[in-house]
Structure formats: C-alpha cells, structure tokens
A and B are shown apart, each in its own frame.
Chain A
Amino acid sequence: MTDDSTGVSAEVAAVSRSDWGRIVGGLIRLTGDWTLAEDATQDAFATALKRWPIDGIPNNPAAWLTTTARNRAIDILRSAASERARAKEVDIMKSLADGGEQDIEDDRLRLIFTCAHPALPLPARVALTLRTVAGLTVPEIAAAFLVPETTMAQRLVRARRKIEEAGIPYRVPPAELLGERLSGVLAVLYLVFNQGYSAVARNELAASALSLASAVVELMPREDEARGLLALLVLQNSRRDARVGSAGELLTLEEQDRSLWHRDEVADGLALLPNSTGQYAIQAAIAGCHARAASALDTDWGEIVVLYDVLLAQSPSPVIQLNRAIAIGMRDGPDAGLELLSGLQLDGYRWLPAAQADLLLRAGRTAEAADRFREVIALTTSGPERADLVRRLAELES
C-alpha cells in the first residue's frame, strides 16, 4: 500500500485538505511572511509526492509535512541571506525553543479571519481564503472565477502585500470586533460555496467552503451564525445530485427528484439548525422546511412565509420579497402571490418573470404564462437552460 503511488497521491490530497491551512498558518505565525509560508508548504507537499512512494507514507503524515515545511522555510531564509531573512530565521528558532507549538489549533482560525479582513477587497478575500486556507492552486481558483491565471496571481500578490504593508494583524479578532468580523468570514465562505454551487460542473469550491465552515463551527461552537451557515450549506449541498436535469439545466426544487437528495446529509443539516434569528440561521431554517417536505405541495409554506418575514425585517431586499411572494402564492393561491410580484422592481432579474410564469400556470392562465416565459428566455444566457425553456414554451403553446 505504501509504495502504491495512487495511495500516496490520495493520502497527500487528504492531508492537504485537512492540514494545509494549519501548516501555512503556523509558518505565518513563525515568520510573518505569507509568501514564504505558502512556498515552503507547497514544496513540502511536492516533496511528499516524491519521497513517500520510495520511503513509504510516514506514520503521522501531517507531522511529517509540518516539519518538512518548516525546514524548507528555514532553507529559503538561509539562501536569501539578507539581514531581514536572518532575523526571521532566528525568530523561528527562538519560538521553537520556547515551545512554539502551543496555539496550533488556532492557526487555521487565525488564518481564516485574517484572509477575510475588511481592509482587503472582497475578490482578494475570497482568493486568499481559497489559496492560503484551503490550499487550492492558482490555476484552480482562476478557473473557478473565470479570470486569467495572471490576474488571479496578481490579486493574491497584492493582497499579501497589503496585509504586510498596511499592518493587518494576523490574529483572531478580540471580543469587541468578533461579531462583525465573523459575519465577514461567513460571507466569504457563502460566496465561495455559491460560486462552486452555481457552476453546473461541481468543483472544489463547494467542498472547500463546507470544510472551512465546519472548521469555524468546531473552533467557535457557540456562534449561532456560523452554525446557521454550516446548516445552510449542508442542506443545499445535500441536493447536489438532483439539481441538474438531463440536458444540464438547473432544476427548481419542485422539479427535482427528491429521492436523489442525500438523506443522511439532510439529517446532519437539520441537526445543526441553531435556534436563532440570524440571517443564515433563518435561511437554513427555510432550507430545512424544503428538506423535510416529501414534495413541493407538502411543504410547510406557512412556516416559510413566517421565516421570510423575519428575514425581511432584518434586511429588506427585493430578492427576499420575491421569494416571500412565491411562498404566499403557494400558501394562499397563485393570485395572492402574483399581486405581490406585480409591485416588485427587479429589472433584468430572470427569476421574477420565472416566478410569475409559474404562478400563472398554476392559475391556469396559460397565454399570460407564455408571455412571461418569453421574457425569461430573453434574460437567460446559459445554453442548456435556454434550450430547456424553449422546449417548455413550445409544450405550453401546443
């Protein structure tokens, strides 16, 4: 097993997922140098891929990689041979001698908070979280966000430079800042998840967001909003195999084959639901109502309306109003929903005519529904979805 190179690459990938952020975080704590920490960690994983097929997988792979990365960092500093590098090398040696291993559990959390610092532009926060905490490569991140690799590499260079030059502290923020900063962290993770989830071809992003969100919950078990976000992500992710139709188009909850939902994950998500009114907790509770229902008609729409009311009271947004109107339409009949939708200003947002078309169909007003369908088609750019809509419009008109 140990000399099987497939086993080795699987093991290296597993340790990368579980320990990359902790190893990079520890090196940043020791050296204060983000680029050095990432380079040394990258080199350590590359060395593992070379050595383990020959030497066998070590008993404690994570410890082996931590030591190798640290030695590599010292080598890089020695070869740089500047005064500054020498001073950092001395720092590492000193803190190792003082028992620098304490606090290790916090390294990943420290990294997550620093990467999500509000003084960094949002795209940089997301990129830095994926690169430094989750260990995704620059080409992977660039591909997920549809930007050229050089652009993504530049974005990361600028972000690391700003952390150093503007004096962004490497730490978990003190209590008085924690609430505000935690919501920034959760926003980054939700954005990462959605970026992964909205792509029809699933990729590493959704997995990274889930793993980081559970790390935050594990490290800060009393934060309800963190639990709320994790519950929301787990529940949304449990529907991954049902959400894409045979032609590659995204399916609505009603159209999905609910037997494809991962029931064990639904149970996990429901068990995580915090008893709180934070925005993620409420969104997760709504996802929970859908997860518990055997079909769209069986859904507790009354409860969903109540939850949307809570959400609206906190952050009025036309998108939430749209979703609430749909829930009212399901609870009180299509006309009630249509009336609420007619007052919404959401120009160019295709889910508005889509919701109107759906309620009009339920009311038996086929010709008007077809008009709305044509609006949706005009606003849809994705190939498979457009084709699906055109097909459904043709069915409607026949």
Chain B
Amino acid sequence: MADKPKAAKGLTPAKPPPWNNPAVRSLVFQALALALLGYFFYVVLQNTMSNMESRGITTGFQFLHEPAGFGILMSLIDYSETDTYGRTFFVGLLNTLLVSSLGIIFATILGFTLGIARLSRNWLISKLAVVYIEIFRNIPLLLQIFFWYIAVLQTLPGAKHSLKIGEAFFLNNRGFYFPAPVFKDGFGLVVAAFAAAVVGVVYLVKWARRRQEETGRQFPVFPVSLGIIIGAAAAAFWVEGMPISWNYPTLKRFSFEGGGRIIPELMALLWALTMYTAAFIAEVVRSGILSVSHGQTEAARALGLRGGPTLRLIIIPQALRVIIPPLTSQYLNLTKNSSLATAIGYPDLVSVFMGTTLNQTGQAVEVVAMTMAVYLTISLTISTGMNWYNKKMALKER
C-alpha cells in the first residue's frame, strides 16, 4: 500500500527487475544449490583422497579377489578361510536374506493373528493382544535381541542336559537341533509330481472362473486343488517307496552330531525380529480392518452373502488396500533391522562385510558403498513394486 504501483502509468505493467522475477530467481537458486553441492562433493573427495593416501590405502575393488583368511560362523554356500573377500560378501548377503525372509513369514503370521485377536469380541483375548502389542512395540529391538540372546539362550543348559521334545528335537546353549531330511534317489519324482499338480491347479482355477462367468455355476476350487496337490505328491511318494529318511541328531561326548542345527544367534535374531515386527503388523492389520466401514458388511448381507463370502469378497479386498502399503514398509524395516545381527555376531552382511572385512582391509569407502548399495537396491525394488501395486489397487474414481 505504501509503495506506488509502477504499472499505473501504462497499460502493460513495467517489467519487474530481474531479482523480482520468479523465473530468474529460481534459476539462480538452483544454480547456487548445484554449485554448493558440487563444491561440497569436491572438498569431500579431495579430503578423502589425501586422507587415504596418507594412510596408505589404495582405492579400488581389487581387494575383493584377495583371500579373506577368517572363518564365518554360518554360511549357506561353501565357504572356507581361503576364499576371497568377494565371497564373504555373498555369504553375508545370503545370511541377511535368510533371516529377513524367515522373519517376514513368521512376523506376518503372528502379526495377523494378533491384529485379529486385538479386534476379538472376547475381552480376555483382546486385552492380551493389547498388552503384547504395547509392550513389544515400545521396547527397542536391540534390547530385545540382547535379551533373547544373552538372558535366555545363553543361560540354557549345556548339551548333556538339553531340553528335548522326544528324542528328535534338542535345545541347548549351542543351538536348536532337529532331524534333517535326507532325500534319496526317487525324491525328484515327488517334486516333479508336486510341480505338475500346481500347474494343473492354475489351469483348473482359470477354467472354473471362466465357467462361473459364463454360466454362473460355481466350482469348489479350493478343496479340489488341495486334494490334487496333496494327492499327486503323496502318490508319487508312495510309488517311489518313500524316498526320504531322517538324520537324527545324537549326543556325542560334548555336543550333538548329525541332524540340522540352528545357531543361537540366528534363533535370537529371528525371534526378536518376529516378536517386534509382529506388534507393528498387528496395528497395521487392525487399522486396515477398522477402515472398512460397517455399511459394507451390511450391504453384503443385504445382497444375500453369507459370513464367509462377505469376509472374502467384500471386507478383505478393501482392508488389504489399506494394509498393504504400511505392511510393505514393515517388511522393509524388518530387512533393515536384521542388520542389528552385528551386535550379537550373527554373520549377516553388515557383520561380516562391513565389520570383519572392512576392519581387515581398511577399504572403508568401497565396503560401505557396496553394503549401502545392497540395502538401497532391496528398498527401492520393494518400494517400486509397492507403488505399482498401489496404483493397481487404488480406488478408480472419476
């Protein structure tokens, strides 16, 4: 109000000075930001180069071909001390993927159970679920991992006094021992029969859906498919003369031999990840189910649908739309949290590669970059997939 509008004299407004022109300003800001960023990276690069030179570290990825010379507690692929640093990367990566995928499966089962229990009309069950969720959600995961590893698993009795279920499963401070399956020659046929049955079921489902759309007649897809899959596998199993045997763990002088073993580090990590993430998944599931308004149930009833189909066709698809995005981010969190393995010595990617390998080689930049790249790839892959799913599932509005 105080300053006079300059445009009043002519019909076209006077051109604003360049520092008041939004387009010019935004260009200047961006150029400035870019220059600052470039300068920042330049300085960092310079410093890193000179620091590495003065410490006698050569840059590059040649170290990946050198022998590692340290043992790893657990490996899914063949590994010995003479293998290269490059191989330690894959050992760690596979261990990370193992614990994350198992954790995702168990946490999903437990989380959905808890989420539904939380909404149960049964007072006791719903209150127990609340107590569980509020306790495990509000205690740091690292603390829970330490608790299970140090306060529970390490205080278990030694091999001689193992806790046991029958003569097959043993739990002691060295881990959990279970009978390992030994597959004989004919087992390939069982797998083949199973695979063939699955393929057959896929076609059956397609046929049943088409028939229902054309004629309206329904086909009991689920029991029939289950019967086909189990029947085919069981038949092949029987024809081949039961080509499987079990290798039981047996107590030798100080420890168990034979059978399969889960190391306590893996147990503690998996247990803690499952319990922690399940509490979050339970809340996700609860909010998803609550987000479907009661009118939907009533509408389904009005259409004549019974309880089961209402849940399957009306409630769950709508609840899933709300559940899936936060559920995916919980899965991502679980995968990233599995890196806490390093605190108890489970040989995951961070513990093996960013821990031991980094300390031995001193190649901090390369090792940290590789490790971060792995996690970034996992995250970006999952979030891209999630965005695609989200688009597909989003409400189609005007």
A and B found bound together? no
Binding site for A on B (CB under 8 A): none
